[in-house]
Amino acid sequence: MVATSQTTGEGWSSRSAFILAAVGAAVGLGNIWRFPTLAGESGGGAFVIFYIACVFLLGLPLVLAEIFIGRVGQTDAVGSIRKVSQESKASPSWSIFGGVGAIAAFLIVSFYSVVAGWVLYYAGVMGLDLIQAIGAGEPFRGALAGESQEQIQQRLGDMFASPSLLLAMHFAFMGLTLYIVARGVSSGIEKAATYLMPMFFVLLVGLVIYGAIEGEIGDAMAFLFTPDWSKLTPQVMNSALGQALFSLSLGVAGLITYGSYIKEKSNLGSTAAMIAVADTSVALLAGLMIFPIVFAVGLDPAAGPTLVFQTLPFAFQTMPGGALFGFLFFVLILVAAVTSSISLLEVPTAWGIGERGWSRTKSALIFGIGAFLIGILCLLGYNVLSDVRPLGFWSLFENTDILDTVDGFTGKVMLPVGALLTSLFIGWKADTNLLRTTTGLSPLAFNIWRFLLAWLCPLAVTVILVTGLFPSIL
């Protein structure tokens, strides 16, 4: 590793551009796909409430911590942590957690692109359906007219059975991600977020209202918000913590990297709060969009990663204008996924630029292609390699296919470890004056923040991590 890092030399054009890009990074498949999947598998209410507590007590302080590191460092995660260490007279070895984060981001983007590929396929299916509807002179009809429930379900199974289809979609999505990252921060990433995120939000709210009218909103509310505390096992707590970190893009140094592109002085505290509130609202709205349909059509909430794809087509089928809204909605999930996947690929890419001196294009290509190859293994896990259990020797991952293993290992192990090290570093090692002046927090807010990072985060994360991973010690 070279001793000094180069700055990546880029910047956001304004504070609001940073907020949009950071919200864009936070809001993604984590909210629309991963949150409902885990909430369903974990039995609902207790998971959701514990997740919300994790977001605000552990996640929010960490969001601010990561943005702070990037703001001070002005370069890739490893170099930024090293800079904060220097200014705080702490050991430069702390920068290792930036490297661990970059590896986690690299692994996450590999399966993220596969799942986004499913969304892409559904966007394509709905797009063709919309064209047919328009051709038939019925542009406002429901989607997939005339298909039975079985046929709609069957499409999902057919998709998983076809490695070439999954591969083509994964290729297209990763290619797009790579292209945007290679073009750089303000020209690529910013533009995408500014126009499309607001549209996504409007459509999401519209679908929640539709679900409230047509679906079983009462059952969904009860499922999501009535806690049955007996369901809050150490494993459920571990996945709720992992989900809070995943959804806020924490523990992979993503916000360090994005924070490094902030140039001017700005109020980092309120920025962090906006990110946390926006992200959590979208996750809860996604739950309120999906579960009314789950209960209305009698699906199993614990269906797992396929849940979202099994439910949404039904809503669009019965909904007036469903062909149109269905197409739009999958396109917007794709947009949300792209603004997140670019932030993931950006972490190792910035590392290559800052620590290795590679050009942006070279760095993006190396990590983009590497993640693409790992993604291929993930998608083969749904067909050719469906018997493979990569961490099958570990009881926690005994029955877990390749994609779920990469997802579970990064989410349940790597992100909490990243979060733990971040909180220890900022809570104990970083220079207090530097923290005060850079974050611009009021004295009270500052003390609460530092306390949460120094005490609550390390203790809670350690307990949740250890008991979640090794339940036998309890």
Question: Which residues form the interface with ligand PHE (CB under 6 A)?
Answer: 25-26, 28-31, 105, 108, 246-247, 249, 252, 254, 340, 343-344
- And the tokens for 244? 């809070």
For residues 53 and 116, what is the distance between their CA atoms, to the nearest angstrom? 28
| Nearest distance in Å: CB 337, ligand PHE | 7
Measured from the CB atom, the residue of 23 and 328 that comes closer to ligand PHE is 23
The residue nearest ligand PHE at its CB is 30
- d(CA 378, CA 396) in angstroms, rounded, equals 18
Rg (CA), the chain: 22
Contact status, residue 456 vs residue 241, Cβ threshold 8 Å: no
Please name which of 166, 189, 181, 192 lies closest in space to residue 367, comparing C-alpha atoms.
181
3-class SS of residue 4: coil
**Beta carbon nearer to ligand PHE, 193 or 324:** 193
Q: Which is nearer to ligand PHE, 314 or 329 (CB)?
A: 329
Query: Cβ closer to ligand PHE: 122 or 210?
Result: 122
CB of 418 to ligand PHE, least distance (A): 10
Minimum distance from residue 417 beta carbon to ligand PHE (Å) = 14
Residue 225: burial class (beta carbons within 10 Å; 0-12, 13-18, 19+): middle
CA distance 255 to 260: 8
Report which of 270, 262, 263, 252 is spatially closest to residue 103, judged by C-alpha positions: 252
- CA distance linking residue 58 with residue 133, whole number of Å: 48
Closest to ligand PHE by CB, 199 vs 209, is 199
Min CB(309)–ligand PHE separation in Å: 16
* Cβ 129 to ligand PHE shortest distance, Å: 26
**Residue 113 beta carbon to ligand PHE: minimum distance, rounded to whole angstroms:** 12
Residue whose CB is less far from ligand PHE, 88 or 177? 177
Nearer to ligand PHE, 108 or 294 (CB): 108
SS3 11: coil
State the amino acid at position 298 in one-letter form. G
Contact 119, 306 (CB under 8 A): no
Q: Give the list of residues 6+ apart from residue 311 with CB closer than 8 angstroms, or none.
A: 290, 293, 294, 297, 299
Nearest distance in Å: CB 3, ligand PHE:
27
Query: At closest approach, how far in Å is the CB of 246 from ligand PHE?
Result: 5
| Residues 181/349, Cβ–Cβ less than 8 Å | yes
Q: Is residue 431 helix, strand or coil? A: coil
Choice between 108 and 417, CB closer to ligand PHE? 108
Q: Which is nearer to ligand PHE, 193 or 441 (CB)?
A: 193
Nearer to ligand PHE, 77 or 377 (CB): 77
Backbone angles phi, psi at 15, to 5 degrees: -65, -40
Tell me how far, at minimum, the Cβ of 387 lies from ligand PHE, in Å. 29
DSSP conformation letters of 297-325:
TT--TT--TTHHHHHHHHHHHHSTTHHHH
Q: Taking the complex as a whole, how short is the minimal distance between the CB of residue 389 and ligand PHE, in angstroms?
A: 24
Residue 421: its H or E element: helix 415-424
Helices (H) and strands (E) in the chain, counts: 22, 0
